[in-house]
Amino acid sequence: MPTISTGPTHLDGVDLETWLLKFDKTGICTSPETRAALLAQLRTRPETPIVLFSHGWNNEFGDATRLYRNFLAHLQTHSKQFSAGTLRPVFVGILWPSTWLSFDTGPQMGASPVPGAADPEEALERELADALPDPGMRARLRTLLGSPSVDAAAGEELAGLMAQALRSSPAAPAPDEIGAPDAEAIIAGTRALQAVAGATPVNDELEESGTIDGATAAPLQGAGGLDFLDPRRVLRVASVYLMKDRAGTVGWNGVSALIDALLEASEAPLHLVGHSYGAKVVLSALAAARSRRPVSSALLLEPAISHLCFAAEVPSRAGKGGYHDVLAKIEDSLLMTYSAHDFPLHEVFHHALQRRDDEAELRVAGAATAAGAPPSVYAALGGYGPRGADELLREPLPEPGTAIELPTTVVPVAFDGTLSHRIAGHGDVATPYTAWLLYSQMVSQGGTHGRGVVH
């Protein structure tokens, strides 16, 4: 990854002040000088609003900065058109190692390889092998992953090694999940992924959105009769769990302290944005934050987390959703997007994530929009929207310039991007539509602006 400046970073086409802060997989900020310079700058301008954005499953520096650049360009356009350019927040972009292997059906990743960049599969395989305590186990893991297919017995062995490696990897408290998967859950997820092997992946504007993603028009079917497993798909299931835990680790251990520091350094509104697993980064950070001052708003773009994470009561087990309590740490609004066209989150996520301690296929009651009703307790927030949290489900995703009425209390307000393909895929989040949601939050809320309708 290129060296990050100790001061603001220039992004082509963006004239907003932009800072990039890098975190490692344990949540340690590895750009402390930049962090200190940012906080010092904010203390001199205590009324300048702040936007903190965490990318999701981008792995390369260029992917994340491309996402930030495109999103900010649209936010600038809205500011110039609707507020004469007076909306000029300081932007803080989070960078964290977030390789999540694609759900495509072929051997290649969805995005074009970057010359000189490490192969994501090789990097993930190395990380999981290194987590195993015994050299023989590490060698066996690599042997099994190098096979074109494995029978039932070898598949169980591979899944067991994966489960042990995941248990040994650093993990966050992960409040919206029960714990590390066992071998049975990994096998179940792998069979579900393998069921779509005959489908044709569709390019999901990967170059533009900067994500690692595959898409298909065909829904997954049951795969209980498959006698052989593709070990690379076992690796993909492992990547779902590993990156979900890592997102929580980065948020809980690292970004939480940054949020506290931003709220202390500035009196201005702080707006959080997270895409995909970046939603887990910002929510885990907010859950762990200790500041008495709330953030102004949160915007979750195609969040790769449980649709029940804000629920007052989870149907399959006693207790509330893991992120229910963060609602009290948001002053004005919590907005999010979801879409039936988000193939990984609408069709795959609830199949890949199957933990033995939960009821894997419990039907969840609730209103449905164009994206449909959640099929499982594992259904993704970005695929189906929230349930059980006094949520408001709205469609379609509003056109830029359209007034957005916001509730008088902080409840999840979710916009379905299915209609008119306003969210056409998991990476389709740096658009005029999504930037309009943040713009609306910023100009209608944040203390001095009051709550109500954007015109």
Short-list 84, 88, 64, 82, CA closest to 4 = 64
CB contact at 8 A, 374 and 389? no
Beta strands in 221-329 (DSSP E): 270-275, 295-301
pLDDT, tens only, 197-248 = 543 333 333 223 333 333 333 444 444 444 678 888 889 888 888 888 889 9
Write the CB contacts of 361 (distance below 8 Å, at least 6 apart in sequence).
375, 376, 377
Residue 36 has pLDDT above 70, yes or no: yes
What distance in Å separates the CA atoms of residue 386 and residue 285, rounded to the nearest whole number? 20
HSE-CB at 62 with a 13 A cutoff on CA atoms is 10
Write the CB contacts of 136 (distance below 8 Å, at least 6 apart in sequence).
none
Tell me the β-bridge partners of 393: 414
pLDDT, tens only, 153-210 = 999 999 999 999 988 876 555 565 556 788 888 888 888 777 655 433 333 332 233 3
Q: What is the DSSP string of 360-385?
A: TT----S---TT----STT-BHHHH-
**What pLDDT is attached to residue 170?**
66
Task: Check residue 357 and report its DSSP letter.
Answer: T
What distance in Å separates the CA atoms of residue 227 and residue 337, rounded to the nearest whole number? 38
From edge to edge, which strands make up the β-sheet containing 392-394? 18-22, 90-95, 50-54, 270-275, 295-301, 330-338, 412-416, 392-394
**What pLDDT is attached to residue 324?**
93
Question: 451-455: which pairs have CB atoms within 8 A and are 24 or more residues apart?
Answer: 451/332, 451/333, 451/406, 451/408, 452/405, 452/406, 453/403, 453/404, 453/405, 453/406, 454/403, 454/404, 455/403
**Does 369 or 98 have the greater pLDDT score?**
98
CB contact at 8 A, 309 and 176? yes
Percent share of the chain, pLDDT over 90 = 57
pLDDT, tens only, 241-297 = 888 888 999 999 999 999 999 999 999 999 999 999 999 999 999 999 999 999 999
pLDDT, tens only, 369-412 = 799 888 888 899 999 999 999 999 999 999 999 999 999 999 99
Cis amide bond preceding 396, omega within 30? yes
Query: What number of other Cβ atoms are within 10 A of residue 74's Cβ?
Result: 19
Name the most confidently modeled range: 233-237, 303-307, 318-322: 303-307
Domains of the chain: 18-98+244-444 (3.40.50.1820), 120-243 (no CATH)
User: Can you read off the two tokens belonging to residue 260?
Assistant: 């506290």
**Does 328 or 183 have the greater pLDDT score?**
328
Query: What number of other Cβ atoms are within 10 A of residue 317's Cβ?
Result: 12
Tell me the β-bridge partners of 21: 94
Tokens 């344990």 identify what position?
Answer: 26
Q: What is the DSSP string of 170-215?
A: -----TTS-S---HHHHHHHHHHHHTTTTSPP----HHHHT-----
Tokens 């900067």 identify what position?
Answer: 210
pTM listed for this prediction: 0.87
CB contact at 8 A, 439 and 87? yes
SS3 state of residue 280: helix
CB contact at 8 A, 398 and 78? no
**What pLDDT is attached to residue 107?**
28
CB contact at 8 A, 342 and 305? no
**What pLDDT is attached to residue 266?**
95
Task: Check residue 101 and report its DSSP letter.
Answer: -
* AA identity, residue 367: A
What distance in Å separates the CA atoms of residue 292 and residue 192, rounded to the nearest whole number? 44
User: Can you read off the two tokens belonging to residue 72?
Assistant: 């900010």
Short-list 61, 53, 52, CA closest to 5 = 61
